[in-house]
Amino acid sequence: MAPATRLVLLIGWIGYALMPWYLVEGMGLTDLGWLAGYPFGKAGSALALALSGQAPWLLPVGIALAVATAFMGSADRGRAAKVLIGAGLLGMLLFFAQAFAIVLKDQGIPWLAALLGGAGAAQRGMGGGGFLTLLALLLLLCHGLAYRGICRGDLFTTSSIGIVILLIGLFIFFPVWIILKSALIEADGTFAPAAFLARFLDASIWGLGCVTSNTNCGVAWNTLVLAVLCGVITTLLGLACALLILRTGMPGKRIMRALTVLPIITPPFVIGLALILLFGRAGAASTLLYEWFGVPRSRWLYGLPGVLLAQVLAFAPIAFLVLIGVVQGISPSLEEASQTLGAKRWQTFRTVTWPLLRPGIANAFLLGFVESMADFGNPLVLGGNFEVLSTKIFFAVVGASYNQGQAAVLAIILLAFTLGAFWVQQRWLGDKSYTTVTGKGDAGLPTPLPRRVSWLATAAIVPWVALTVVIYVVILIGGFVRNMGRDFTPTLEHYRTGFAIDFSNGIFFEGSAWSSFFTTVKVAAISAPLTALIGLLTAYLLTRQRFRGRGALEFATMLSFAIPGTVLGVAYILAFNVPPIEITGTGLILIIAFVFRNMPVGVRSGIAGLSQIDKSLDEASTTLRARSFTTLWRVVLPLLKPALVSALVYSFVRSMTAVSAVIFLVSAEYNLSTAYIVGRVEAGEFGLAIAYSSALILFMAFGIALIQFLVGERKLGRRKIVALSSSVSNPITQGAAS
Amino acid sequence: MTKAGPASVEFRNVSMRYGAVTAVDNVNFTIEAGKLVTLLGPSGCGKTTTLRMIAGLEIASEGQILIGGKDVTKLSAADRDVSMVFQSYALFPHMSVLENAAYGPTVKGLGKEQAKQMALEKLALVGLKGFENRYPSELSGGQQQRVAVARALVLEPQVLLFDEPLSNLDAKLRRRVREEIRELQQDLNLTVAYVTHDQEEALAVSDRIIVMSNSRIAQEGAPRELYEQPANAFVADFIGDANLVGVTVKSVAGGRAEVAIGSAMISLPARDLGPGPAKVAIRPEALLLSGTAGPASLPGKISKCAYLGNHLDVMVETEIGELFVVQYGARTMLEPGAPVAVSFAESGVTLIPPA
């Protein structure tokens, strides 16, 4: 057996015989009280627990390890392969069998528990020992497969594939499966399709009351209408803007580029919050209108108009980013050809430009559609009585009327919508290439826009840009006045409440926001490198390795892109609240949620980066005797640095601004900035909320600039000024659908 | 490091399939140690796949591959003692010339100093002394090519592979570089497999040529053999120019055949063909134009004549179709429409089996 396989066996034995098998409350390195009774008791190792009879069902897992170890010295590659595959597969099977059969008292799978010798027993969630053992068993299986010549016998490749599949399975498909299960199965374990149907067809979801009578429409319709409107408007704005910038002499290309960074570093609900401060009943603009023109204050903002406005402001830059690429991709020489054939400007636009734009427009629309569906913060802040799926799921889980079944049903509907949009995007647009610029002597000049079109576009753009500027002004100054709209006395009170530091007795972070701020930074900083690692590894496997089931893995990864944050959050809380994985309320679940929520970003920037690197470089390295890990480390990774940086930055920023997935997962001990701000908004403390938001935005802008400065300088050279916008905004065009 | 020396390469019934597509179909050949063998063929004929199977970048679906008599069929590229020079050169853009050249020994775990010495030695060999610290983007196409060769040579592989190494160079440079490759191969006594679609290149550098067509080997032999004794119409047409004409073999006696080309009768080596329909491949320079007709010549009429410096390209309309004729030496241009008699030279007319 190869040295790597021996190392795996060692890891397996450490996990099985030395480390605590279960997750123990109060685990830590400072206070070792939780270790009481080791190697038996709560923090016992599997070997000790199994041999002492406390947990006999753990014994077979160890036997699988032992069998593999017995053949450690075997020189016969074929036999070693068979043993490893058998031991790994059987060991994992036994591991999962005991993990799912024996959970809490009177749950799990009783007959299987009895078979494993644990009838009526209960066990807690798996811990470090369990995890290491599972990992080792998986790697044994992968090594066995490699010995048999799978993936050209490369241990690293087969192991990576195994790990990626296990992780996606455990942290994406298992939770989604739990949602489906809890929608169909009642809390007492009975299969209840009738109850599912009743919940599914409920009038609160599909009702058409707003059309036929004067009641509210169902949430599904609300969500759909909002998403379609949001998609249409953001697309039109984005298109107008892209055409104006590229096809007229309009100045401000740089400024527009910079503006597109803003929505990335702005937590999604902050726009809604600023809108309240402007147009709410007591907002600054409402007050002006009332005092000067006698326009009565109203609550028009709370409902569809407000949510739509906030979403359009938040997501239009994404559409712009997509469409500017599409417009740039249309070869000017095509339009020049049309003109030399006698077509007028308008005819050219209608017959050449527009048809080439169409697929890109459809793509931008779908992005806006999906973003709106998945948005949680704005509907929560501005929705009022206007409920959408994401907020309704939230209230079904955390509200007074706790209803797990309903939350699951709603989550399934939302998931179906986003998967549907995603499917349409892949099927319909996936194969089409819009780029007509080939790079070979395309020296033509783009045709100027017909005058009608440019007037129309300007009319749409100016108010949008103006409103965006006003919004950000409000966000920045909102924290420095006593009460935006009512009392404009300058004050530092909000910042003092949130960020006060007491120096009288050493440094003491007194402000109420510090705790959540530090947690957020810590969690984001831990999850960003993990996201980048898993994402790039997956991208590498998908683009550079051929193995059976690659298509399936690709499909599974793609599917995970389409899961809205709210659905993932609900799925996590349902799946990881009970053994075998019991991690709700810990910081770990936040990290895992961020890693798998942001994984698409890593995968996409990895795929984009890898497609720039010629495959012959890998092959050259291989023919020079480098193994695939060496190739990855010495050739691919250095060349992938820009993609790596953008994956890191973007997943860090996304973790800082995420709301939907984590609002279910935060706890008193591990609160996050966004959840804290949402809490302040709900409590009516707008000043503190806006102050905290602007602090977050500035922190991220500063952080991005710093990373760009540190990492990107040498590579980007003279283009440093635009580097900030380009490298950070890259993944959004690829990753916006996630 | 022990120097393994050049090794032979042997393919036994090797096939490569991608799903329903067969890229290489039941191929057998041997490359002797220390020889340069060219895989020649049009694009899509399977020559590059064959090369990649030698390298181990593709694992053969069927059959056996031996290098130096050892079965390497299932070994990955990293386990074979084979290096490759890629069409795109595949120089690592983030490494200097020296780092590129030293990559092989470095990843093999040899010490930094030793790796550097080995790299410097080979860089000097290809004439790149003094370029060690440049980056690939700072080199010309020809220099990049040399770096790629040096990098492949550093580990002194048993077999060295070239995948269309000259295709990114301009025409003048090509001739020089191919001569350098040939000299290097002979000086260092290397086993080289060389893929190209340029028949002139193949004729110039090879000990032997394997012509491939439609995933199979069409013919294998020394350059001269292929040009003068093509086994079939494809090889005749692909290597050099040829007029392919349907003929009738009237009789065979003593290894020579009496062949009717239209109304002309000539005697050719029979090449094991019997009486009946056959084909001849006629090299353009083997057709002679004169004013007087005889029994072994065909009457014709000039249809086109183009001046190309050292020779004339002439098209002649005859009873067996339009023939392509090349006339070397200073000659006067021929007027279209002028009558001529076409006769056949002693060599350059080859009988081949009907298709």
Asked if residue A633 and residue A502 are part of one domain, the reply reads yes
Please name the member of B76, B83, B84 whose beta carbon is closest to the beta carbon of A153. B76
Whether A79 is in a domain gets the answer yes
CB contact under 8 A, A635 and B88: no
Q: Evaluate the omega torsion of the peptide bond into residue A56 and state whether it is cis, within 30 degrees of 0.
A: no
Give residue A712's pLDDT.
54
* Domain assignment present for A612: yes
For residue A25, what pLDDT is reported?
74
Chain segment B12-38, per-residue pLDDT in tens: 999 999 888 999 999 999 999 999 999
Give a yes or no: residue A397 inside a domain: yes
Residues A526 and A641 reside in one and the same domain: yes
B193 pLDDT above the threshold of 90: yes
Adjacent-strand bridge partners of B66: B10, B71
Residue A212: partners with Cβ closer than 8 Å, 6 or more residues away: none
Task: Evaluate whether residue A424 is within a structural domain.
Answer: no
Quote the pLDDT of residue B12: 95
Higher pLDDT, A317 or A429: A317
Closest alpha carbon within chain B to A639: B94
Shared-domain flag, residues A456 and A552: no
DSSP code, position B319? T
* Contact in structure between A305 and A316 (CB atoms under 8 Å): no
Nearest CA in chain B to A629: B107
How many inter-chain contacts (A to B, CB under 8 Å) are there? 71
pLDDT digits over A399-421, tens only?
777 777 888 888 889 999 988 88
Q: Under an 8 Å CB criterion, which residues of B touch A? A: 55-57, 59, 74, 76-79, 82-84, 86-88, 90-94, 103-104, 107-108, 151-152, 155, 161
Structure tokens at A381: 């802040």
Q: What is the pLDDT of residue A713?
A: 45
pLDDT of residue A586: 83
* Helix A155-168 × helix A550-561 angle, to 10°: 40
Task: State phi, psi for B282 to the nearest 5 degrees.
Answer: -115, 120
Decide yes or no: CATH 2.40.50.140 for domain B241-352.
Answer: yes
Select from A422, A443, A462 the last residue of a domain: A462
Q: What tokens appear for A315 in the block?
A: 């997501």
Q: Where does B9-233 sit in CATH, by number? A: 3.40.50.300
Rounded Cα distance, A4 and A84, in Å: 13
Q: Does A215 share its domain with A112?
A: no
Shared domain for A443 and A512, answered yes or no, is no
Give strand pairing partners of B276.
Answer: B249
The reply to whether A124 and A235 lie within a common domain is no
Query: Domain count of chain A?
Result: 3
Range of the domain at A717: 494-733
Question: Residue A83: inside a domain, yes or no?
Answer: yes
Q: Which of A510, A513, A509, A508 is nearest to A498 (CA)?
A: A513
Q: Is A2 on the interface with B (CB under 8 A)?
A: no
The least confident of A114-128, A461-475, A710-724, B64-78 is A710-724
* Contact flag B90-A619 (C-beta cutoff 8 Å): yes
pTM for the model: 0.81
User: Domain holding A384: CATH number?
Assistant: 1.10.3720.10
Mean pLDDT of B294-323: 89
Taking CA–CA distances from B150, the nearest residue in chain A reads A624
Q: Are A619 and B77 in contact (CB under 8 A)?
A: yes
Cβ contact, residue pair A620, B59, below 8 Å: no
Domain end marker among A112, A130, A148:
A148
Which conformational region is residue A684 in: left (phi greater than 0), alpha (psi within -120 to 50 degrees), or beta? left
Q: Chain A, 600-659: which have a CB under 8 Å from a chain B CB? A: 614, 616-617, 619-627, 630, 634-635, 638-639
Dihedral angle computed from the Cα positions of residues B249, B252, B257 and B258, in that order, rounded to the nearest 10 degrees: -60
Give the DSSP H or E segment for B343: strand B339-344
DSSP B26-87: EEEEEE-TT-EEEEE-STTSSHHHHHHHHHTSS--SEEEEEETTEE-TT--GGGSSEEEE-T
Same domain, residue pair A229 and A297: yes
The verdict on residue A629 lying in a domain is yes
Q: Domain check: are A438 and A395 in the same one?
A: yes
Residue A431's pLDDT band, with cuts at 50, 70 and 90, is low
One domain, residues A712 and A662: yes
Q: Per mean pLDDT, which range of A122-126, A190-194, B183-187, B227-231 is the poorest?
A: A190-194
What is the rounded average pLDDT for all residues in chain B?
A: 90
| Cβ <8 Å between A621 and B103 | yes
Q: pLDDT tens digits, residue range A38-55? A: 777 778 888 888 888 888
pLDDT of residue A445: 67
Q: CB of A511 within 8 A of CB of A501? A: yes
Residue B147 — pLDDT band, cuts 50, 70, 90? very high
- Do the domain assignments include residue A72? yes
Q: Do both A395 and A521 map to the same domain?
A: no
Query: Domain residues of chain B, as ranges?
Result: 9-233, 241-352
**Between these two residues, A524 and A427, which has the higher pLDDT value?**
A524
Whether the pLDDT of residue A441 is over 60: the answer is no
pLDDT at A188: 67
Q: Is the pLDDT of residue A427 over 80?
A: no
Residue tagged 């609240």 (tokens): A577
Tell me which residues of chain A, numbers 143 to 162, contact chain B at a CB-CB cutoff of 8 Å: 149, 152-154
> Do both A244 and A120 map to the same domain?
no
Same domain, A296 and A219: yes
